[in-house]
Amino acid sequence: MALLEAIQGPRDLDKLSSEQLIELAAEIRAYLIPTVAKTSGHIGPNLGVVELTIALHRAFDSPKDTILWDVGHQSYVHKLLTGRRDFSALRHAGGMSGYPARAESEHDVIENSHASTALAYADGIAKAHQVRGVTDRQVVAVIGDGALTGGMAWEALNNIAAAKDRPVIIVVNDNERSYSPTIGGLADHLATLRTTQGYERFLEWGRGMLGRTPVIGTPLYEALHGVKKGLKDIVAPQGLFEDLGLKYVGPVDGHDIAGMEAALRRARHYHGPVIVHAITRKGEGYPAARNNVNDQLHQVAVDSDPETGQPLVPAGKSWTSVFSDEMVRIGAERDDVVGITAAMLHPVGLAKFAEAHPDRIFDVGIAEQHAVTSAAGMAFAGLHPVVAIYATFLNRAFDQVLMDCALHNAGVTFIADRAGVTGNDGASHNGVWDMSIFQVVPRLRIAAPRDGAQLRAQLREALDVDDAPTMIRFSKGAVCTDIPAVAKAGSMDVLRTTAGTELAPDVLLVSVGAMAGVALDVAERLADQGIGATVVDPRWVKPVDPAMLMLAAEHRLVVTVEDNVRVGGVGCVVAQILRDAGVHTPLRDFGVPAEFLDHANRGEVLEQIGLTGQRIAHEVVGLVAGLSNGLGSGPGANRADAAAANGAATNGTAEALANGSAPKVTTL
């Protein structure tokens, strides 16, 4: 690792010969493969951009020149070349982020890991340079062919191309994949450019042949060069980019450092918008990645075998796999159910459904907004689409869920995978916003299953709704052991009750989704302090079951526990419903603060923000102790207060609360 250890910053690359640069690329791969296998992280994408990144940092002067990485999961080589060599705690608490991070280096600009954004950033930076009269700095955006399928990327291209004198260099890292193979018309176009002989090679042949022809050779070559646009359309149909007003360089072998560097230096002299089309291979130099047909080892788990890229200790059954298996069963029963994914067929668990029903799966590329509205169209035409997207990415399609699905009563089911605290991928991947963002959508119903059995049941319940959109959100990682209900309250599951014990029903613990285990732990700790607690799982957190009012009125304190942001979350909604119904039982909501959370594993993040059984129980004990002896004069007063709301609670719940006739809990 002698060469790599000598790299303190990008300008150290200038000292290396061509042979040393090739050796450095080999050292980088030899370092990344075992290191990332130990810590977990994105290995395939980074191995594919080793030479490209070296060429970038030789051709441009970062951070004076701005280099933007779209998505950013391919920035590990960039980190190494900018002086960050300690990968021992990559993606772990206190260690290096798995994405660019401004706090780490002045060489990092974009630290959100949502795709298709870099071109818009580049456009804005270039415009700022122009307004301020800055002419000695370059703006370079590296975007994959997968991210280039996103609508936001094309909106940016439209603006970038509009200014012929505003320099923006777009490096298209074309490896034919995002997670899975890139699909769509753009992918077909890039494939055409990739597989033709190419204009540049044609011209090179012409230069060699005609240059040896006396008298007429050179003039004929110049004429040939003069009609290059027509030749390009025939030999390499790249008009898509040039018709937008973008110069085009390529295709270039992204693993040829000298060729890549030459193309980038050529691009920087155009003084206008230009695309450099680099052909790379995801997982280059690592047979385990190259031979992985699913995603070429896009990401490896903690403590994986460096030889194979596979976990040394098999992971438990995941939430995603439970969804995946149930979708296959449902697909066999219902021919109206179709699956939609935004370039993440395997990560969201639709690969098995696609294998069983290849004519009923639609991969729209990295285009979440299109996925949602297309699903609304399918619902109108008689299908029931299941749109599976990571919770953090589904946020991008809020308007389409609101206006295209909910407004039109579209029977579409959304799967918000990786909801809640996800941990190691950092701030932009935590799915902690969904229940707040989508809580305001009329007609939308949201389910939060607590275990695998509930996920299967609620998926089927959602698919039975054909006149409104539904959403099911679940966590990342291993699914917990099934937690049985001991009773029912309306449509809600009671997981623990004080019935049959000496404890009074002091606290109503409302557990949301995967936080059921934490809520039950809190109840156990409260019981040790002589405080009785009822634990209820609403199952469907939107709308709230009116039976919640009855239960709240029967307790001295309501506590909600969720791994969604507190602002606008389930706790806020329950508090609002209690106020509207005149139920004055105090409520304390526990959830995620409205902050960006640093990367760490899920357990560590939950500990940091106080979402553990011990921390919650400690605070609840204090709240119960602080309740005034005369507060509300007991549950009966709460029932009377609810009745005074004159029907604010639906389905006659207020009246039932007043006379005590509503069924409290039905024992299973």
* Catalytic residue ranges: 282, 368, 396
Number of neighbouring beta carbons within 10 Å of residue 623: 16
Can you state the angle between helices 217-226 and 199-211, rounded to 10 degrees?
160
To the question of whether residue 404 is assigned a binding role by annotation, the answer is no
646 annotated binding-site participant: no
Q: Which residues pair with 274 in a beta bridge?
A: 169, 247
**Separation of alpha carbons 134 and 150, rounded Å:** 30
Residue ranges of alpha helices (H) inside 144-211 are 151-160, 185-195, 199-211
73 is in an annotated binding site: yes
Question: Binding residue per annotation — 97?
Answer: no
Q: Say how many CA atoms lie within 13 Å of 133 toward its Cβ.
A: 0
Would you tell me how many other CB atoms lie within 10 Å of the CB of residue 647?
Answer: 12
Q: How far apart are CA 625 and CA 604, in angstroms?
A: 29
Instruction: Please check if 321 is assigned to a binding site.
Output: no
Q: Is 271 annotated as a binding residue?
A: no
368 in a labelled binding site: yes
Strands lying side by side in the sheet with 487-489: 587-592, 557-565, 505-511, 532-537, 492-496, 487-489, 666-667
Answer whether the bond into residue 251 is a cis peptide, omega within 30°. Answer: yes
Sheet holding 247-253, edge to edge: 66-69, 139-144, 169-174, 274-279, 247-253
Q: Is 147 annotated as a binding residue?
A: yes
Distance from C-alpha of 373 to C-alpha of 384, rounded to nearest angstrom: 13
651 is annotated as contributing to ligand binding: no
Q: Which of 242, 250, 244 is nearest to 266 (CA)?
A: 250
Query: Is residue 145 annotated as involved in ligand binding?
Result: yes
Distance CA 557, CA 586 (A): 5
- For residue 63, whether the previous peptide bond is cis, meaning omega lies within 30 degrees of 0, is yes
Strand-strand pairing, 492-496 and 540-542? unpaired
**Euclidean distance between CA atoms 484 and 170, whole angstroms:** 54
Task: Give Cβ neighbours of residue 226 (< 8 Å, ≥ 6 apart).
Answer: none
Evaluated on CA atoms 534, 535, 537, 543, the torsion sign reads positive
Q: Which residues carry a binding-site annotation for thiamine diphosphate?
A: 73, 113-115, 146-147, 175, 286, 368
Binding residues: 73, 113-115, 145-147, 175, 286, 368
Q: Which residues are annotated as a binding site for Mg(2+)?
A: 145, 175
